[in-house]
Amino acid sequence: MGRSSDAPASARETEENGATLGNVEPAFSAGDSFHRVFESAPFGMALRGTAGDYREVNDVYARIFGRPAAEISGCPGGAFLHPDDAVSDKVIFQKLVTGQVDGFRIQRRVLRPGGEVRWVSVTLTALAGIPVLEMVEDVTEVRRSREEIREREAALTHATRLATLGEMAAGIAHEVNQPLAAIVNYANGSLRRLASAEADLESVKQALGYISREAMRASEIVRRLKRLSRREDGDRERVDLNAALRATADLLEAEFGDLRIEVSFDLAAEIPDVLIDLVQIEQVVLNLLRNAIEALRGWDGTRRITLSTAIDGERVRISVADTGPGLEPLLVDKVFDAFFTTKRTGLGMGLSISRTIVENHRGRLWVQPNSPTGAVFCMALPIFGEIL
Ligand SMILES: Nc1ncnc2c1ncn2[C@@H]1O[C@H](COP(=O)(O)OP(=O)(O)OP(=O)(O)O)[C@@H](O)[C@H]1O
Ligand SMILES: [Mg+2]
């Protein structure tokens, strides 16, 4: 970006050995009180010309940029920014000085002399008499700790997902075994027919069709498991929630059968696709279903789990209802705490992780009583990914 043609005459700059040496006098006449604020502000402040050029910066601003104030003053806007952010700086300035907007808030990267990158939060305001006032705050550490929290959360989510899959291993093996056993049966039957004197080709053809269908079923289960065991989170994708719910419940088919739990679906017909990380939301549904199964284990009353979907304004609501003993009113908030468990072998992380996942999708997860007995865990997810 070149030096702006409309920079004030007082903003002189000297080019020496290719380096820009600022040697600039204050570019405008502001009152003393303004200058006192400018100099003593606890955050970085800069006055910038209509082309984005730096007219004056305070000490905090200079410190954030890792350069003397005199070096920055007089330089074109974006001179010390990451190239991508320098482009957006130019665009923003155009909007500010042409009066399309009065102010802007944005985060961007500052390049310090040694190549170090600092993230800053920038507020740009168009002011009468001063083309643009810029206020900056160094948010590198805040961003770093947020990033670390996110990474730790992801590692924990993954670890608990693997633990859940480990606990489900026996049931899953059963699920995969069923189609394999069917394949063996069909194949043996076909071999017998082919070996007999008058081979019935039509029924062999039919058996091959069944074999192919069962093999697809087994490979679909394996594919889902592989995806659930992946470390990295998937990208947000458009998902048919009704289909995802059915497929997730399929993984627990064997446990439902063993415990004689009746599973029913009450799915909204016209549900729009939602933008979600499918692996993570499946993990939530698995956690809720496993809790419901555990609540019904040893329960003498009706053993039913109902999965439903419904549209609720800008959100879709998914609920997992069971007919078990339900929750003591006092526990309704506690169950979402990390490490809260009433089970002998429970970790107490299922609901806590589930709530984190749902909230990262800008959704909500809560529990309410079922009637006459049991618990209903509900999750509401924004249809369009984010409701701001
Ligand atoms: N459907 C339910 N009915 C009754 N109580 C429930 C239900 N779901 C959860 N709870 C209660 O909430 C507690 C916390 O559940 P959470 O899933 O967080 O942990 P957990 O199931 O105990 O262990 P894990 O980490 O293996 O999931 C459970 O121990 C149980 O007391
Ligand atoms: Mg659990």
Specify if 334 maps to a domain: yes
| Residue 283 beta carbon below 6 angstroms from any ligand 1 atom | no
Judgement on whether residues 102 and 222 belong to the same structural domain of the protein: no
Residues of the domain holding 254: 235-388
- C-alpha 298/C-alpha 76 separation (Å) is 74
> How far, rounded to the nearest angstrom, does the alpha carbon of residue 352 sit from its chain's CA centroid?
16
Lowest mean pLDDT among 28-37, 115-124, 217-226: 28-37
Domain limit, last residue, from 184, 208, 232: 232
| Residue 346 beta carbon below 6 angstroms from any ligand 1 atom | yes
Degrees to nearest 5, angle at CA 158 with 155 and 161? 150
pLDDT surpasses 70 at 20: no
Report the SS3 class of residue 33: helix
Domain limit, last residue, from 95, 121, 138: 138
The confidence score (pLDDT) of residue 25 equals 42
Judgement on whether residues 209 and 352 belong to the same structural domain of the protein: no
| Residue 327 beta carbon below 6 angstroms from any ligand 1 atom | yes
Residue with tokens 């998937």: 234
Beta pairing partners, 71:
none
Distance between Cα 284 and ligand 2 center (Å): 10
In ligand 1, the atom with minimum distance to the C-alpha of 374 is: 3
What is the pTM for the complete model shown? 0.66
pLDDT digits (tens, 9 = 90+) for 224-267: 888 888 876 667 888 999 999 999 998 898 899 999 999 999 99
Number of domains in the chain: 3
Domain limit, last residue, from 91, 108, 138: 138
Backbone angles phi, psi at 288, to 5 degrees: -65, -40
Pairing of strands 304-312, 364-369: unpaired
Give the ligand whose atoms come closest to the C-alpha of residue 353: 1
Amino acid at 262: E
Q: How confident is the model over 364-384, as a mean pLDDT?
A: 94
- Residue closest via CA to ligand 1's atom 4 equals 326
- C-alpha 67/C-alpha 186 separation (Å) is 77
Judgement on whether residues 179 and 298 belong to the same structural domain of the protein: no
123/235: higher pLDDT? 123
Q: What is the CATH number of the domain that holds 273?
A: 3.30.565.10
- C-alpha 171/C-alpha 252 separation (Å) is 7
| Residue 320 beta carbon below 6 angstroms from any ligand 1 atom | no
Judgement on whether residues 56 and 154 belong to the same structural domain of the protein: no
Which of 252, 293, 285, 292 shows the shortest CA–CA distance to 267? Answer: 285
The confidence score (pLDDT) of residue 300 equals 96
Judgement on whether residues 303 and 342 belong to the same structural domain of the protein: yes
Specify if 53 maps to a domain: yes
Q: What is the CATH number of the domain that holds 24?
A: 3.30.450.20
Judgement on whether residues 254 and 218 belong to the same structural domain of the protein: no
The confidence score (pLDDT) of residue 388 equals 34
The CB density around residue 109, as the number of other CB atoms within 10 Å, is: 16
The confidence score (pLDDT) of residue 94 equals 87
What is the crossing angle of helices 278-296 and 201-229, to 10°? 100
In ligand 1, the atom with minimum distance to the C-alpha of 320 is: 1
Specify if 8 maps to a domain: no
| Residue 332 beta carbon below 6 angstroms from any ligand 1 atom | no
pLDDT digits (tens, 9 = 90+) for 128-161: 777 899 999 999 999 999 888 888 888 888 988 8
Tokens standing for residue 264? 């029913």
- Cβ atoms of 45 and 134 within 8 Å: the answer is yes
